[in-house]
Chains A and B, each alone.
Chain A
Amino acid sequence: MVTTPPNKPIKRPFLAVDGVTFGYGREPLLYDVHLQVQQGEMIGLLGPNGSGKTTLLRLLSGVYRPQQGKILLEGHDLQQWNRQDIARHVAVVPQELHMPFAFTVAQMVSLGRTPFINFFGSPGKHDESIVMDALHAASIEPLAERIFNQLSGGERQRVMIAMALAQEPSLLLLDEPTSHLDIKFQVETLALVQRLNRERGVTVIAAMHDLNLAARYFPRLLLFQRGIVADAPPAEVLEQGVLRRVYGVNVQVGILRGAEHISVLPPGSEVASEVAEDQFREHGPQPVVHVMAGGGTGEMMMRALADAHIAFVAGALNIGDSDHTLALRLADEVITEQPYAPISLPILEEVRKSLATVKLLIICSMPIGPGNLALLQEAVASERHGLRVLLYHDTAIAERDYTGGEGQQLLEALLQAGAQSVASVGEAMDIVKQL
């Protein structure tokens, strides 16, 4: 759907994220992320709170190291760079900064030279001219002698960008650079970043919350939810269905009269959003298949369904489950539960509704724990009401049952009531196509 990266002449990418998995504890937060960035690109990173945007930026800046996979900057594994080398190539603009001491703006910007000065650390003429240039580029020369902490939010943002610029980075990472600013400073800040990107060829990756500003300033957007859901120009990424599935809220997308760029509007009211949802459901294809999966077991099945253009519902899936990220991309409807949480009653209700409308339920060989036992109970109940059920297993039930036999009993009940057992995706697809 929106997975094809923009066609570019093939050359060594400036930045490549290759199968990166990372989590703060034992539980993975990002799962198998792949990304390629060319020199001079300007990329907006979108995604709900807690989707892992900031974590991805921290991985790119080398503050965290991937648990699996590699990040290649200019063709070299970031793990092999030392911190100073990274700082000479990558600069980071934080969301907000409070200085404990009364640093002046000029002093702050000259901190950007830290990775270049040696042991005894006195900056030379060359460093000074770069600092002056950075002050000039960010148009903050008049503020040079002011105290940083006394500036307004927008001015501070400019100072932080100038400081990053003094690092002479080839890659500039910004973490929600506009989230504390009023509209004027939002526009000014992003215009500054855009100018740096165009005039100096700095590659920019910025985490953004404001979808409209992202559409306005970034030619390439990444929609992120514990993994890359969509990677394309704004018009493709900011698509009603995708946004609804990822953010879990109905929005309207369109081009306002007289504007050049796409706009995303929030739902007007509860009533309006319900209407919009109904309209969407009427306009969109009616899903005929419901897929229950988890832990990567649904991948082949969902890809096959999407390739065959069969509309399907997936869920309930936890945020952070690799099947969830994939479902956001491929499924027409995703029933989403919070990370690592058992399936809650309202979500179960949604599953029940979906099962009442589809013609076929495919249950993949997902691990069965106390959290998703309720899903199987739901399946048993629906089967009694006449729903056709396919059990796709490639793993023995006993090996993936963590409920002490309860899960196994439910699966056996399904089979006894007439559920078909399939051993391959092809077999399942044959049945799906006959619907």
Chain B
Amino acid sequence: MKIAARNTTIEQPPVKPPLEGLRKVPFPFVLLILSGVVCVVVLVSVSFGSTPIPLGTIGQILLNGTGIFHFARRWDPTAELIIWQVRLPVVIGTALVGAALAVAGVLFQGMLRNPLADPYLIGTSSGAALGAAIAFVLPFDTVYGSFFSLTPLLAFVGAMLTVLLVYSIARSDGHTPVVTLLLAGVVINAVLIALQTLVLTLSPHAQFGLQALFNWLSGGVSVTSWPPIFVVGTIILVGIVFSLTLSSVLDAFALGEEGAAHLGLNVERRKLVIVVVGSLLTAAAVSISGLIGFVGLVTPHAMRLLLGPRHRLLLPSSALGGAIFLMLADLLARVVIAPAVLPVGIFTALVGAPFFLFLLRGSKRDYRW
């Protein structure tokens, strides 16, 4: 009796997960490092392209742009034009899209407590795609008085409307059960994809529409001027900053809805806020990038593996990580068979998947749902 009792009380030595060390790093430091990496990747991305521009020159051009520094212009004036008007908008746009998708991924995974959740899950992708398909078959390109071309505008509107539709379908008696939300999302996705096919089939410009839509669906930031970046960037930055205020809410959601309610949260209202913010981020991103997969799914997981599940750190680090990830994928898409540009979605999957699997296998014990 005594022996048995003693046996059971022996403390098991704590199993140290291999990535434990990283979690101990104070988090301003982590964010500082990630921000540094973002800057480096921006510079590298800008330097690559049809005409390579040395990093030093880029640095000087960018610093001149701030108005504080005045480096002598010893470079080809077209380089300045290429950087400011062609490459930088694309790179900044890519970074914003990556950050938005990753943060939306964190929001949806946290709220749905589901590892397979990604930003497109509850209808944003099919809604945006239907919007884009309609834009491609319509005979005009821009809406009067707007610097936005029609495709991003309709994609954004389509995504938001779809999410609101899914949410209102799933809602009954003042509750929106997570399972119903997921199922409603799947069903509406199917319906909208059918509608999209129908639109393209019946359209007189079908041939042209299909090709354009294929390019759009494969994803890739294709902006040619700053105004769309400003608009989308504002939505995304506001969305990300607002998400940061939700970190303790998302932590509490890990306990389940009832557990979160016991910690004093108004669960239904918070769920709606998370859905709206997550969808705004996704729709804004999709409107300039088309459908880029994998970033929103994998970045949050990778960051959770490296830094732990607390959302106070996970949200900002995922934003930075998503930006880095998508810029690198975009860089590869541009240089691998330059001057041709491949769809960036290819590289998010081809580069992201092995990296993620490497992390996953390195911490098998640690990462269980």
CB pair B259–A112 under 8 Å, yes or no, is no
CB pair B254–A87 under 8 Å, yes or no, is no
Residues from chain B with Cβ under 8 Å of A63 in the complex:
258, 261-262
- B228-268, CB under 8 A of A: which get 1 and which 0? 00000000000000001101100110111011011111100
CB pair A83–B265 under 8 Å, yes or no, is yes
- Closest chain A residue to B9, Cβ basis: A184
CB pair A114–B368 under 8 Å, yes or no, is no
- Output the least CB separation between A229 and chain B (Å): 27
| Chain B contact residues: helix, strand, loop or mixed | loop
CB pair A87–B264 under 8 Å, yes or no, is yes
CB pair B309–A107 under 8 Å, yes or no, is yes
CB pair A111–B263 under 8 Å, yes or no, is yes
Number of CB contacts from chain A to chain B under 8 A: 86
CB pair B252–A114 under 8 Å, yes or no, is yes
User: Which residue of A121, A146, A150 contacts B247 across the interface (Cβ within 8 Å)?
Assistant: A121
CB pair A97–B259 under 8 Å, yes or no, is yes
CB pair A114–B310 under 8 Å, yes or no, is no
A142 at the interface (CB under 8 A from B): yes
In the complex, which of the residues B252, B365, B368 has the most CB atoms of chain A within 10 Å of its own CB atom?
B368
The segment out of A2-10, A98-106, A247-255, A324-332 that lies at the interface is: A98-106
- Closest chain B residue to A120, Cβ basis: B245
Residues from chain A with Cβ under 8 Å of B81 in the complex:
none
CB pair A101–B247 under 8 Å, yes or no, is no
Chain B contacts with A in 278-322, Cβ cutoff 8 A: 304, 308-310, 312
B355 at the interface (CB under 8 A from A): no
| A121-B312 CB under 8 A given contacts A102-B368, A114-B265 | yes
| A94-B248 CB under 8 A given contacts A86-B264, A150-B15 | no
Residues from chain B with Cβ under 8 Å of A102 in the complex:
304, 308-309, 366-368
CB pair B263–A115 under 8 Å, yes or no, is yes
In the complex, what distance in Å separates the CA atom of A87 from the CA atom of B252? Answer: 12
In the complex, what distance in Å separates the CA atom of A88 from the CA atom of B262? Answer: 9
Residues from chain B with Cβ under 8 Å of A85 in the complex:
264
In the complex, which of the residues B8, B251, B255, B256 has the most CB atoms of chain A within 10 Å of its own CB atom?
B255
Q: Contact residue range for chain B? A: 35 or more
Q: Contact residue range for chain A? A: 35 or more
B369 at the interface (CB under 8 A from A): yes
- Closest chain A residue to B115, Cβ basis: A100
Residues from chain A with Cβ under 8 Å of B367 in the complex:
102
Residues from chain B with Cβ under 8 Å of A122 in the complex:
312
Residues from chain B with Cβ under 8 Å of A103 in the complex:
254, 309-310
Chain B contacts with A in 1-45, Cβ cutoff 8 A: 8, 11, 14-15, 17
In the complex, what distance in Å separates the CA atom of A397 from the CA atom of B258? Answer: 46
B171 at the interface (CB under 8 A from A): no
In the complex, what distance in Å separates the CA atom of A94 from the CA atom of B257? Answer: 12
CB pair B261–A99 under 8 Å, yes or no, is no
Residues from chain A with Cβ under 8 Å of B310 in the complex:
103, 107
Residues from chain A with Cβ under 8 Å of B263 in the complex:
87, 111-112, 114-115, 167
- B206-247, CB under 8 A of A: which get 1 and which 0? 000000000000000000000000000000000000001101
Residues from chain B with Cβ under 8 Å of A100 in the complex:
113-115, 254, 369
In the complex, what distance in Å separates the CA atom of A184 from the CA atom of B15? Answer: 24
- Closest chain B residue to A62, Cβ basis: B261
In the complex, what distance in Å separates the CA atom of A112 from the CA atom of B251? Answer: 11
A-B CB contact pairs (8 Å), 21 listed = A61-B262, A63-B258, A83-B261, A86-B264, A90-B262, A92-B259, A92-B262, A97-B255, A97-B259, A99-B255, A100-B113, A100-B254, A102-B308, A103-B254, A104-B308, A111-B251, A114-B248, A114-B251, A122-B312, A146-B14, A150-B368
Q: 7 more A-B contacts (CB under 8 A) besides A100-B114, A111-B263, A114-B264?
A: A83-B264, A84-B264, A91-B262, A92-B259, A97-B256, A119-B245, A150-B15
Q: Which 7 A/B pairs are nearest by Cβ-Cβ distance?
A: A87-B264, A101-B309, A115-B264, A84-B264, A121-B248, A114-B263, A100-B113
